[in-house]
Amino acid sequence: MFWPKAYTWTRLTLVLVTLSAFQLTNASDSHAYDGQVILADSTPAETETATTTISSDLNNNEEQFDTLITYWPVESQAIYEQAFGPDSEWMFRDSDLRTHGLNAIRAVQFESASYDEEGAQETPQVQWMTEGEKLKLKAEGTSLLDVTENFLHPSSSLFPHTPSNTPTALTYPSTPRSRPLVLSIFPHISSAEQKSFMTTFTDPSLFYTRYYNSEWGRNSSIWLSKRIAGYVEELGGYAGEGKMKIEVVRWGHRWLQDSVVVRLTPFNASSTDPITVIGAHCDSINREDPFFAAPGADDDGSGTVTILESLRALLSAKYVPKSPLEFHFYAAEEGGLLGSLAIVAEYVKQGKVIKGMQQFDGVGWLNPTVPPRIGVILDHVDTALTDFQCMLIDEYLDIPYIKNHYPGRASSDHESWSRAGYKACHVMESAFKDVNQNMHTPNDTIYLRDYSFEHLERFTKLAIAFAVEMTS
Ligand SMILES: *[C@@H]1O[C@H](CO)[C@@H](O)[C@H](O)[C@H]1NC(C)=O
Ligand SMILES: *[C@@H]1O[C@H](CO)[C@@H](O)[C@H](O)[C@H]1NC(C)=O
Ligand SMILES: *[C@@H]1O[C@H](CO)[C@@H](O)[C@H](O)[C@H]1NC(C)=O
């Protein structure tokens, strides 16, 4: 993807930790040391400026949230260019969330892309509006994608979709291949560790909300990245013996919160080896006002701690994958899949091949009125990978699954991958109609009677099974 020069710095990834038998070569601002944790502080000065501006936004956010600027419905790039001229610099300036907060101009898409008879994707209909207006629509229950960056760069291959990056020949086994290994890793899961993480991650005195364009949101993902760095420092030493490279990358965006990407790369992997990705989103939101309390214990603290603990258990068991394995903690899912769209666009640009992507979103609350079941989502997923996921549930978990659809346009970060033609699957805590109704409110806490670390542990096992069956 092309980025105007002024924004190039936002594409820098900050390598926090590298346990490696060899030097990193692809990131100029990174360092590699054997068995040593690096907390690289290469944050560009511009970020500080932007942060200061947003802080002043924070002080009168309610006023801002109600005073929204003009709304521009624009149906195509052509009309957009007619309105604003072909020079996208203007757009970049005014769409920057860090400097314009709730007044930033965003490109929002409400419907799934349609396909013409030849299977080519038609230009998705896009409407331009402010960030605040977008969030108000979301509060009213409208599901949406924020495609601002992707829409401005149609050549990014996300829009339109280019199936050429996707290995269509990928198949998944119909029976487990590594059952003893998977079962040997389960005892490394610590429910106490998950509780301790969640107590801090949802503590209102530290992270009042994890809204992606707030300092709390930014601080929460920095804290998350340090927690992961701590695990790698404590448990990852075995990787340094020439087995694999472990990277914890804080992935900067054009808003305040970072995504965090953790990569376990076996020493003999090549850059074209298919990557297995396990994801969740680390932001939260209060649907009434993005600057009100949003502990997000279920949505999606639960997915975050699920994939985090599966990573910790794999490290604790000294697991070395045979193909690259990544854990993605996406920023700004609640803003319309922003973090995952940005990362997917970069992976498409780099021609990365994905073996399969599994998304965990809302997996920590157990509805007492229905029998416990794993909700397998059928929207924006790959059928074969979903069948593989169902096989893993049958094989490794103590409760059945129920396949079901999201209502309307609701989705999660797996859709960003499906959009780009990659294969993805997705699970939730139950059938969609039975999920926690406290999501997006201050009541989405771990202190709800039916918040269940026992249920959460099932998903942690599923993430481990997915990781090992895909990469061993
Ligand atoms: C974010 O963290 C910094 C550094 O610890 C702290 O000074 C700041 O007050 C925090 N911001 C918020 C909104 O909590
Ligand atoms: C890397 O090494 C492992 C273990 O020796 C082997 O199973 C795997 O096929 C190798 N991968 C590649 C890409 O050579
Ligand atoms: C939070 O829970 C309390 C107690 O059950 C309830 O009165 C309140 O309406 C809930 N708040 C929201 C925003 O759902």
| pLDDT tier, 166 (very low <50, low <70, confident <90, very high otherwise) | low
pLDDT tens-place string over residues 437-463: 999 999 999 999 999 999 999 999 999
Distance CA 426, CA 356 (A): 11
Burial group, residue 287, by CB count within 10 angstroms (0-12, 13-18, 19+): middle
Question: Ligand 1 — pocket residues by CB below 6 A?
Answer: 215-216, 219
Please report which confidence band the pLDDT of residue 144 belongs to, taking 50, 70 and 90 as the band edges: confident
Tens-place pLDDT, residues 361-414: 999 999 999 999 999 999 999 999 999 999 999 999 999 999 999 887 678 999
Structure tokens at 268: 């003999």
Indicate whether 16 pLDDT > 80: no
Ligand 1, atom 9: closest residue by C-alpha: 215
Indicate the pairing of strand 325-330 with strand 275-281: parallel
Nearest protein Cα to ligand 2, atom 14: 268
256 CB less than 6 Å from ligand 2? no
**Separation CA 339–CA 260 (nearest Å):** 10
Residue nearest to atom 4 of ligand 1 (CA): 219
Q: What is the pLDDT of residue 27?
A: 32
Query: CB of 288 closer than 6 A to ligand 3?
Result: no
Across 241-367, the runs of DSSP E, i.e. the strands, are 244-251, 259-266, 275-281, 325-330, 354-360
Q: What are the respective helix, strand and coil percentages of the chain, to the nearest 5? A: 40, 15, 45
Q: Which of 57, 215, 258 to mutate to test the pocket of ligand 1 (most atoms within 8 A of CB)?
A: 215
pLDDT interval class at 52 (50, 70, 90): very low
Alpha carbon 121 to chain centroid, angstroms: 24
Over its C-alpha atoms, the chain yields an Rg (Å, rounded) of 21
Nearest CA owner, ligand 3 atom 5: 443
Q: Which CATH number fits domain 169-471: 1.10.3720.10, 3.40.630.10, 3.40.50.1370, 3.40.50.1820?
A: 3.40.630.10
The minimum-distance atom of ligand 1 relative to the CA of 207 is 14
Q: Which numbered atom of ligand 2 lies nearest the CA of 269?
A: 13
Average pLDDT over every residue of 32-59: 30
Q: What is the end-to-end Cα distance of the chain in Å, rounded?
A: 33
What pTM value is reported for the model?
0.83
Q: Which of 330, 395, 390 is nearest to 360 (CA)?
A: 330
For the CA of 273, the nearest atom of ligand 2? 13
Burial environment of residue 266 by CB neighbours within 10 A (0 to 12, 13 to 18, 19 or more): middle
Look at 129-133, 140-144, 149-153 and tell me which has the smallest mean pLDDT.
149-153
Ligand 2 centroid to Cα of residue 322, in Å, is 6
Q: How much is the pLDDT for 3?
A: 26
Domain with CATH 3.40.630.10 in the chain: 169-471
> What are 209's two structure tokens?
């909300």
Nearest to 379 by CA among 355, 345, 412: 412
| pLDDT band, very low/low/confident/very high, at 152 (cuts 50, 70, 90) | low
DSSP category for residue 37: -
